Every structure is written in C-alpha cells, then in structure tokens.
Structure 1
Amino acid sequence: MNNKVKTGILFFVISLQLSAMALSAQTEKPVLRVRPEVDAIFNQGVILYNNGNFHGAKRQFERILGKDRWHQRLTSTLIMYSKTLTQLGHPDLAEESIRQLLLYFPKSRYLENARFQMGIIHYLRNNYVTSAKQFLWTTDFAKSPILRQRGAQNARIVINDYLSLSEIRKLRAETAGSQGLAMVISAEAMQYFQQGNKDAGVELVRNFIEQNPQAARSKDIQNVLSGQVKRPTGRQKLGIILPLSGQFADKGKGILRGLKYAQQKHIERYPEAPEIEVIIRDSESNIIKSIHQIQELESDPDILCVVGEVENFITAAMAGVAESKGLPLVAPVASDNGIAGIGPHIFQANPNLETQARALARYAVDSLGHRTFVTVAPQDEYGHQMVDAFSEEVDRLGAEIITQRWYYGIPEKLGGQFKEIREIAFRRMLEDSLRRVLPDYANLNNDSLWTEYNNFVMLENSLKEDIVESSGFFRVENVNAAYFPVYDEDIEYVARQFTYFNINAQILGSENWYFAKSSKNKKLASYVDKAIFASSYFYDPEKLAFRLFRNEFRKAMGVTPEKMELLGYDTGLLIFGVFAKGTNTREATRNEIMAIHGLQGRKGIINIDEFSRVNKNVNILQFQENEVVKLPNEAD
C-alpha cells in the first residue's frame, strides 16, 4: 500500500475516534469520573512535551483519549493533545481536538487557550484572516495577561505581514474589541503609507481617535503617528534568534557558543575588516516569541541574515516571515523536509531527513552492492519521511524494497512485524527456487505450495513449529539489508528483536543510532555492532586537528564543544565567511550563501545544493566494536 495512503488511514482513524465524541453527544450527556491513574499519565505527557519529545507526549495523551476518555483531565488533555499535534505538523487533527473541547465544554476555563490555539492552527494552514480573528479575540477578551500579550503579538505579525489591504478592511468590519480594532486600524493606515497615500492613512487614524478618544493611548496608534521608515546605513548586521531559556535552552546556548567562537576566529582572521554587529534574541523556546522577534529584526534593513532556530516547527514559522520579506535565514539544526522549500531565501545548514535517507540508500546499493531491503519504522510523520525517501532512492537505483513494516508507540513487541518479514522472505525464496524448476509455476496455487513446504520442513526436521516460527533453527538469508529509522529510545527494542528473529541482513539506521554509543546498556553494543547509519555530523575526537580545535574552544568559551557547539560553529563559519566578501544587501548575501560548496567545518562539509538550498553532505558511519567510524563514501 502506498505510504501516503497509510498515513492518511492512520489520521482518518484517529479523527474518527475524536469525531465519535460528537456523535455520542446527541444521545447522552458526558459524565466525568475521577480515574486516579490519569493524573500520572497526563503529567508525564506534559513533561515530555516541555522537553520537546512531542512524539512521546502524543503517545501519553492518546492513552487517556480512548474509550474511557470521560475523566477529570479531559479538557486539559484535549488542549495539550492539540498543542502536541500542532508541534508535529498535523493541524487538522489539532483542530478536531479543540472543536471537541468547545462542543462539550463551552464554558471551560480553557476556552481562551482554545481560541489562541485555533489562531496558531489557522496560521499554519495559511488562513490568515481567520487566524487574526482568533488572536484579536484573545487580545481583548482573554483573562490571562500572558495570553492577552501573546495574542496581541501574534495578531500584529499576522495582520502586518500576511494580510492585504482588502483583507484588513474586511477584518476591521468584523473586529469587536477596542485593542484589536486599534491594531487593525493601525495596520490599514500603514498600508496606505506604503502605497504613498499618507493623507488617507492619517485621516483614517484621526477619525478613529475622534470616535474612540481612549485609542490615542494605544501603542499601535502611537507607532503610526510617530513612525519613521528605517533606511539602510551600509553596516553589516547578523540577527540570531535562539532558545536561551525555556525547554530548549541547552541546545540554544550550545549553538550560540559555537557562533560566538566562529565570530572570534573571523575577527582574528580579518582584523582590519569592518565590525559585524551581532544582535541576539532569546526565543524562550516559544514559537510566538520567535516570530515576533524575527519581525522586529526584519524591520532593520541592515540585518542581512538571521540564524535560527533549534526546533523544526519554530524554524519553519520563522522562515515564513523571513521569506515574505526577502531576508536570508540559515537554520543551523533543522532537519525536517521542506523547510528550505518555503522560499529561495531559506537555507538548512544541516542535511534534511530526505537527504540523509537517500544518501544511505545510495551507499547501500552502489557501495555495498545490496539489492533487497526491508524496513521497520514508527508509524508517524518522521518514520514516513525517512522510509519514503529511502524507498524512492532504492527504487530509482533498480534495487527492491521487499516489504515495509510499521509500529505504534514503544516497540517492545515487534514479533508480528519480524515474523511477517520472515514469512515474506521465505515465501520469496520458495518462489524463486520453484520458478527455476517448474515451467508452469505461474499456474500453481502459491498458498497451497507454501503450506505443503512448511509441512515438509517440519516433518523433515522433527519440528512442532513452522519455518517462520522456528527463528532459532532457520535463518533468513535472502534479505541484504534492513533499514530502521527509529527513535533513540526505540533502538534497543528493535536491535534486540531483530537479532532474536534471526534475519541475516545488514542493519541500516538513521542519525538517532548515534545514541547507542552513549547508551549505558552494555548488551546494546553487541546488537548494533557493524550497523551502518547516516548522520548530519561526525567528528573523530582522536584526530589531531579536532583535539587542537577542542582545546582552543575550551580555552575561549569555557566548555568542551559537543554537537550543538559544532553545529553553531559551522553555521558561523558559513555566515561570517559570506560577510567577509563584503555583502551589504540581503540579496547579495543570499547569492553568496547559494555559492557555498566544499566548506570544511568541524561537524563535516557544507555543500549547499543549488536547487534545494539544503546541505547535501551526509556522513556514512558504522559501529565497530562500540566506536563510531566514518566509512569512505564516493559522494564525499
């Protein structure tokens, strides 16, 4: 079955489960019951969400949104589930969760959170007028001061950056709150100013103040009356937006240390060059904050480029604002497919998931000579992105994916998936053998032949189980490689069960397999030995060049450089190298970034693909006696 169809079926099933709540409302009034175990599951989901493990959080919330969903935490679970699905890029399911909250609990204290969340969902769908309405409602009517502030920030971004003059006029007619109306009037006036019709803008604002004298104190109105258009001065400025507080602060601080060290090395190399002003903003690990900050930085024409953020979801949102203003944005960490595809000014310094999966497929087919593959992956967006790209590349190269297997949640029990792989492999072996000796094989009943073969094998070997079940007795030999793009916490389960089910194939993995090197599970090393995986980064701590870099970095920054520091350093190496060429406009900066090829960084080489604007360099690595070794690759 087509992978996209599988994903669609999954989402359809979950949507039906949520929709079933609406159907039951027509016949019965829900009664909430206290279930003691729910609080612990909910709290664990919140912890996972706050730690950025959105897939794990989704699993927890779904545990308490099943048949017994009518519990004391239902309203808060629906809100958190919607927020989690939004982070994972599933706005349709996220909206369904919010609609169930509004349907069943229209007077819930989470109503204002629901309206705010709907604003984000509509923003992601490019429904900007509807999004602005939700944020404006939050601005005027939310009880939470924080939510009112965030609503106002979001509303300004959507209205100023995404709405046309006609859309703003329509929004003005549909806005009830005084603060929201002042915001809309201000945006409409600014549109007139930008068109050169300043008189119309001033008249609009004055008429509004006459009818609403208190509006004169509005920040938005004051900005219109006193605002001046900034003009470029010719200085080079770099904007940096990273999470320096909040749940992703450790990653953000690591990236920033790397960027600062790259700036120091740039100054040492070009002591006579004009100073580059670096403006740093803390996104607080918050998508709304980061959008507001890039909007602020964009308004300064001397900002030639922005670096940010850490999380894929937040980076994509920032990229939308940056692209709308022609501002180059370089993402130092983001690996999701499609972020650079937002527009020609967006770049990913890291190879995305598709690039990594395709590179591994090419290595397996071209360098290792493998022709037959199986895959096992999580049934979610990440798993499908990886398997789709890998499978397409294998097909393109003329090799074959024999079967694809999927799992939900934590893969503690994969017996069904691996038994299916064993059966498919043995059936294929039998078919290949019989085709060579039976000319009329195509006319025979395959299922009957399979049953007779199993009976023969069991009788011949005095076995009580068939060839599929007898994994300790019969090894699968006709699968060349098994691709497992799984999460780091899933590696132990997958690798152990793969070994148990006796499939003699090369293990291929994703970057998450790096986790196995630092795992405290000593048995895991034997399961993953010789496994090959693709990674966006690699450094050999024993090489002299890296030891010198590490020591100098420690001396300058006070910490030992790890993955995030290296990603930040390489991104800084790219950007400060571009600035050293004297670029003084955003378009010139964008063109120079496009020309980056073969730039040797500390985590690997940076090759910006001229079509995708993604770093196309991928490291092919292998576990060898619990050490990670880089394999020679013709693509390097």
Structure 2
Amino acid sequence: MHRIFILIFLCAVAVFPAYRYLKQKDDQKQAPPPLDPVTETQIKKAVDLVSSGMVLYREKNFTRAESLFTYVLNRMGRAPAAEAAAVMAAQCYIRAEKYEKARWILTLFPKQYSQSPYTNRVHYLYGLLLAYDGDVFAAAKRFLYVYKYEPNPDLARAAKNGALLLFEYRLTPEQVLDLASRLDQNDDMTGWAWFFAARLLLGQKRFEESGALFTKFIDVFPHHPENATARGLLASAESGKEAVIKIGVLLPQTADYSYYNEIGQGVLKGIELAAAEYNKAAAVKVKLIVRDTKADPVLTYKITEDLLEREKVAAFIGPLSSEELCVTAALTEKAGIPVIAPTASATGIDSLGSHVFLLATTKATQAKFLARYAFDSLKINEYIIIFPNDNYGNTMASAFRDVIEERGGSLFAYEMYQKGEKNYKDILDRIHEKKVEEVFAKRALERGEILGRTDRQYVEVDSLFMADSAVEVGAIFIPGYPDEIVMLAPQVPFYKIHTQMLGSRGWYDSNVLKHAGRYMENAIIVVDYVDNSDSPQWKSFQTLFTKAFQTAPDPNNALGFDAASLLFDRIRGADGARLLKRLQKTEEYAGAYATFRFTPDFHANTSTVFLRIKDEEFTRLPIK
C-alpha cells in the first residue's frame, strides 16, 4: 500500500524516483549489506519523510530533500517507501551534479531491490548519467529500453524525448539506424530515427543515402509531423545541394543615435556566435541574412518585405525598437513567420500576435508585478506614485495605479515631475502637508467625539506639533532614472515621510547605491534582468564568446545569443509555419542573459526579478 501511495505521488509531481544511498565502496563483487528490520512506526514515518522530501524537491530545494531521502535509506532501508527514497536521492544528486553519488545509488539499486516497480526509472536516470559522461550510444539504448517497456506514460515520454535529443544532436547516422533496427518498423520512434538519420546524412553531404532514407521515411510514415519537412530536405538531397534555413536579422548598425548602434552591434555578435555553434553539428545549416534597419520603421518595412518575398526567410530576429517591431509583425503575421524581438518593450507590444516572441519584459508588466507583490505579499494598502513625465514614467505609473485600483487600494498621491528634475521639495511638501491635514482631521474628529468639543486650543497645539512631525504612508513607488533617484530618494526621509520605498530598473545602478544607498534601506525594486554570471549558461556562453572574439561578453551579446539559440534549438529543418508551432510550445528557456518565461497566448516574457536594498547592497528576493 505504501508503494502505491509513493508511486502515485511521484507521478503527480512529475519527478523520477531514485535509489538507495549506501556509504560503503562497492567493488562489484560484494553484496549490499543486509538491511535492519523496521517497525510499523518506522514504516509510517518513512512514508511521511518521503512525502515531505517530494514537496521540497518540487520546490527545487534539492539539498534538504536529499537529506530526508538519505535519512530514510540509512535508517529505514526495509520500509517500502525506501525504494522511492533511493530513486529520489539519486535524482537530487543528479540535480546537484554529484554524479558519482548518483551512480553509486543507481548501481546498487538492482541488488537491493530486485523486484522494484522503479527499475525502469533507474534505467532512465542511469541513461542520463551515461549521456553526461559522453557515452551517448549507451544512454540512447537505456532510453529506448524504458520507452519500450515502461507502462507509465510520463516516464515513457521522458525516455522518448531523451532518445530523440541524442538522435538529433549527439549520435552518428549509423548509430541512429542501429538503434532503429531494434524497434518495430511501424513504431513512431522508428520514424523519428529515420528522419534524424537522413538529416544527418544530408549534413554530411551523403546525398544518395540521405535521399533514399527520406524516401523510405515518407512512404512508411505519410502522416508523421515531419513529413513535409522531409519532402523539402529530400529535394535538397536530390539536387545535391546542402540544405540551409535562412534567418532574417534586423538590427540597427548605422543609426543616427550611437546608443542604438551599440546595442545592435552587441546583439549581432551574440547571434553570429550562436549560428556558428549551431552549424558545427547541424544537419541543416542556418544562414543569417543581416540587414541594417538604421532604427527607421520605414526602412524596416522595406527590408522585411524584401526578406519575405525574395529571400524566403523562415524567421526573423529583431528588430530592436517597438516602432520597428510593429512594422515587421504586421508583415509576417499572415505568413505565420516567427519573430524573436530581443528588446522591444513598449505598452501594448505584447499583443502584436502569437507569432511574435518578446524577450524583454514590458514596462507595464514589471510595474504590475511589483504592485501585486506590494499589495498581496507586503499587505500595503496606501500608495504614493511619483514619476517622470515621459513614456517610461507614465507607462510604469499608470500600470502600477491600475493594479492598486483593481485591488481596492488607496492612492494617496499621484505626482509627476519633469525628467531630469533635481529638487523635489514642492512635491514632497505637498504630500507631507496633505498627510498632516488628514491625520489632524482624524484626531480632531476623535477628540470632538470623545470630549464633545473641538475648540481652538486643540487646533493650534496640534497644528504646530504636526507641521514638524514625521508622517506615515504605506508605500511610495518611484519609477525614475538613476540620476533622479540619487536626488529624490534621500529627500523622502528628509521631508519626514516614513514609507516603504518601491522602485524600478533605474534604481538598479551602482551610483545609486553609492550616493543614496543609506537612505534606501529595505527598498524593493523590480527589474527585468540581473547579473546572471553565476549560472552555468552564462559561464558556457562566456567561454565561447571570449574564444571567438578575444574579449569578455556584455549583456547585449548574451541577449543576441539567447534570441538566436531559442530559435535554432527548434529548427530541425522546418519552414516558418512549423517552426512557429514549435516555438509556441515553449514555456521557459534558460539562457545566458536570463531565464525567459512566456505567456501562452502572446508569448511575452513575464520573467521579472525583485531586489531588496539591504546594507547598501542589492539582494535578490526568492520570488518568481
């Protein structure tokens, strides 16, 4: 009964159980040590501990989850729940990249639990270890075994996807065909194997072999989702030409403003690096068709039209500005050609169409997320908004206000200033005086009710006292620029306004901390991007970029690399329409620049980061 409970729980949280942790060194000859008998109380405790470990695992707290699983294994190894604990412990070790510990558990599992219902799961995990070790053929064999014999559809699907990734990127055509020979000819997996093997042969310019295999694939699997792609690639094989997919790249290189050119040139370097890396192993190469938009929407219209009609591009990366993106999105919508937009973030840009993918989080989205967090998590009901009178400030302020009004909160003040303002005395004086009047009126009313009078004596005494006293306001949101924040933030406490400070991207600046950090203690800000240099994705990208360009990368380089990699990872030789369908299934993409999360309808990135200023440093809040 306990085993059934654990199995159901594992399926519900979509994790793959793992295996028994033993500290002794296995020399492959020594049998595992005997397990001590367990009591009924221990059996129940093991179930509870494993259940708690599952919750922690689902929350990605792998270290604490691992400690619970290994405790069950070491102390209650005969309990039925220990089998699931063993598999989950190995899974935690794999997540933590402790591959030797995971391998030790997975090797001993069949000896300790020879009749376990989790045997195929162990094969799957061992396949992952083999892939990490570079033994991709052995890994693919493990995945195919699980695919053939595992009744659990989730695990069988995971094994199938693992094998497909190896077919596509890591195996030779001979290895793929060897694996296909172990399957029934009409099996769906056989079709995938033939398709990928034919593509690999085409990439090696073995046109005759590739053409024969594509023909066989098309005949045997007429309804396969890659059948149309195969027909196009077959034409390339028969013509003896290398197959390529054309990608339009729309970036400013010689615009009137150097700022645009700097971003465009940086993004382009990242795109070119991604293309070079992809083409090293791709059967169907990508060809970049780069055009200089000069940040001009009219020129962008002409270029987009030309690339669609004459070059027949399958997708676009860029343009950068929201104005240009509107033009490209309109021209590509009917054809269903996907557009990856690295930086566009204007209000409403996230509703251009389901073929447009925004990597930048819109300003309105950031402001709304911060307002919801302040209202729902910080439980703040009263707000002041002070913002610059430009597109950025108005967009952020309006979106923040909308959420507060939707939630039934109170907007105490809504103040605008001219961009670049240095002195905010008038605004802060008005807020302070208004709050004093509110508090005084409340006190006068209370005294009038309690004492039955509100005579002149009380009015004069309270007025003198309150005019020089600090006032309390729930929160103040200031979506300003760094040079403004340096001046404005310190003036808030100076004018005796005690409040929770909330900010935006303009606060995320070293000069802001240096000159005004001590006045911002516990301020919370929302940004679309933070330093990602500790992530494995950044480190891998940094190595590639430095080797290619002999210089360290910057965020623009990483953003271009991510935009291109997101696209290239889903190509598989497809045309624009089929490529779009694959992109539309993307919910999350972990890149070098950031992790991007997309909405299901309009595919706008919703990934935001909350930071708290603590001891004059930015500290990331653990909020998605």
Pick the TM interval, shorter chain: 0.5 to 0.7
> How many residues are matched?
381
- 8 A contact 1:358–1:393 mirrored in 2: yes
Deviation at 1:266, TM superposition (A): 3.3
Deviations 1:44-88 (A, max 9, x none): xxxxxxxxxxxxxxxxxxxxxxxxxxxxxxxxxxxxxxxxxxxxx
1:256 maps to what in 2?
A: 268
Whether 1:494 aligns to 2:494 is: no
2:248 maps to what in 1?
A: 239
Deviations 1:467-489 (A, max 9, x none): 1xx3xxx2222x12110111233
Whether 1:404 aligns to 2:394 is: no
Deviation at 1:511, TM superposition (A): 1.4
Q: Aligned partners of 2:457 and 2:580: how far apart in 1?
A: 66
Q: Aligned partners of 2:395 and 2:365: how far apart in 1?
A: 10
Deviation at 1:502, TM superposition (A): 2.5
- 5+ residue gaps, structure 2, are 1-234, 237-242
1:594 maps to what in 2?
A: 584
Query: Cα gap change, 1:349/1:542 in structure 2, threshold over 3 Å: closer, same or farther?
Result: closer
Structure 1 residues 85-104: aligned runs within 5 Å: none
- 8 A contact 2:440–2:463 mirrored in 1: no
Q: Residue 369 of structure 2 aligns to which amino acid in structure 1?
A: A
Q: Residue 239 of structure 1 aligns to which amino acid in structure 2?
A: G
2:550 maps to what in 1?
A: 558
Q: Residue 590 of structure 1 aligns to which amino acid in structure 2?
A: L
Find the partner of 2:475 among 458, 475, 481: 481
Q: Aligned partners of 1:541 and 1:599: how far apart in 2?
A: 17
Structure 1 residues 292-307: aligned runs within 5 Å: 292-300=302-310, 302-307=312-317
Deviation at 1:272, TM superposition (A): 4.2
1:524 maps to what in 2?
A: 516
User: Mean Cα displacement is larger for which, 555-564 or 427-436?
Assistant: 427-436
Q: Residue 600 of structure 2 aligns to which amino acid in structure 1?
A: E
Whether 1:615 aligns to 2:609 is: no
Deviations 1:220-243 (A, max 9, x none): xxxxxxxxxxxx988522110101
Q: Residue 249 of structure 1 aligns to which amino acid in structure 2?
A: N
Query: Cα gap change, 1:357/1:388 in structure 2, threshold over 3 Å: closer, same or farther?
Result: same
2:295 maps to what in 1?
A: 285
- 8 A contact 2:380–2:474 mirrored in 1: yes
Query: Cα gap change, 1:275/1:560 in structure 2, threshold over 3 Å: closer, same or farther?
Result: same
Deviation at 1:395, TM superposition (A): 2.7
1:395 maps to what in 2?
A: 405
1:85 maps to what in 2?
A: none
Q: Residue 507 of structure 1 aligns to which amino acid in structure 2?
A: M
Q: Aligned partners of 2:410 and 2:580: how far apart in 1?
A: 40
Find the partner of 2:504 among 490, 493, 510: 510
Q: Residue 583 of structure 1 aligns to which amino acid in structure 2?
A: A
Query: Cα gap change, 1:498/1:316 in structure 2, threshold over 3 Å: closer, same or farther?
Result: farther
Deviations 1:447-504 (A, max 9, x none): x99x986631355x5xxxx61xx3xxx2222x12110111233222222322322222
- 8 A contact 2:528–2:607 mirrored in 1: yes
1:538 maps to what in 2?
A: 530
Deviations 1:274-307 (A, max 9, x none): 1112111112333332222111112147412111
Q: Residue 383 of structure 2 aligns to which amino acid in structure 1?
A: F
User: Mean Cα displacement is larger for which, 525-534 or 540-549?
Assistant: 540-549
Query: Cα gap change, 1:559/1:434 in structure 2, threshold over 3 Å: closer, same or farther?
Result: farther
Q: Aligned partners of 1:612 and 1:453: how far apart in 2?
A: 60
Deviations 1:514-540 (A, max 9, x none): 2x3156x84233334433211111224
Structure 1 residues 29-48: aligned runs within 5 Å: none
Q: Aligned partners of 2:445 and 2:554: how far apart in 1?
A: 55
2:176 maps to what in 1?
A: none
SS class of match (1:350): coil
Query: Cα gap change, 1:431/1:347 in structure 2, threshold over 3 Å: closer, same or farther?
Result: farther
Q: Aligned partners of 1:407 and 1:338: how far apart in 2?
A: 24
Q: Aligned partners of 1:305 and 1:410: how far apart in 2?
A: 40
SS class of match (2:497): coil
SS class of match (1:505): strand
- 8 A contact 2:444–2:459 mirrored in 1: no
Q: Aligned partners of 2:533 and 2:331: how far apart in 1?
A: 39
Deviation at 1:254, TM superposition (A): 1.0
Q: Cα RMSD (Å) of the superposition?
A: 3.1
Structure 1 residues 282-361: aligned runs within 5 Å: 282-300=292-310, 302-323=312-333, 325-361=335-371
- 8 A contact 2:359–2:563 mirrored in 1: yes
Query: Cα gap change, 1:562/1:436 in structure 2, threshold over 3 Å: closer, same or farther?
Result: farther
- 8 A contact 1:604–1:619 mirrored in 2: no
Structure 1 residues 104-123: aligned runs within 5 Å: none
- 5+ residue gaps, structure 1, are 1-231
Structure 1 residues 194-233: aligned runs within 5 Å: none
Q: Aligned partners of 2:522 and 2:565: how far apart in 1?
A: 33
Deviation at 1:356, TM superposition (A): 0.6
Report the structure number with the largest CA radius of gyration.
Answer: 2
Deviation at 1:434, TM superposition (A): 5.6
Q: Residue 264 of structure 2 aligns to which amino acid in structure 1?
A: G
- 8 A contact 2:278–2:568 mirrored in 1: yes
1:200 maps to what in 2?
A: none
Query: Cα gap change, 1:301/1:556 in structure 2, threshold over 3 Å: closer, same or farther?
Result: closer
Q: Percent identity?
A: 24
Find the partner of 2:381 among 336, 355, 371: 371
Q: Aligned partners of 1:528 and 1:312: how far apart in 2?
A: 33
Deviations 1:314-360 (A, max 9, x none): 33333333335543222100111112323332221111111111111
SS class of match (1:579): coil
SS class of match (1:236): strand
Deviation at 1:374, TM superposition (A): 0.7
- When the two structures are superposed, what TM-score results if normalisation uses the length of structure 1? 0.55
Q: Aligned partners of 2:282 and 2:391: how far apart in 1?
A: 49
Q: Aligned partners of 1:428 and 1:587: how far apart in 2?
A: 60
Q: Aligned partners of 1:266 and 1:433: how far apart in 2?
A: 70
SS class of match (2:569): helix
Q: Residue 349 of structure 1 aligns to which amino acid in structure 2?
A: L
Query: Cα gap change, 1:372/1:264 in structure 2, threshold over 3 Å: closer, same or farther?
Result: farther
User: Mean Cα displacement is larger for which, 538-547 or 287-296?
Assistant: 538-547
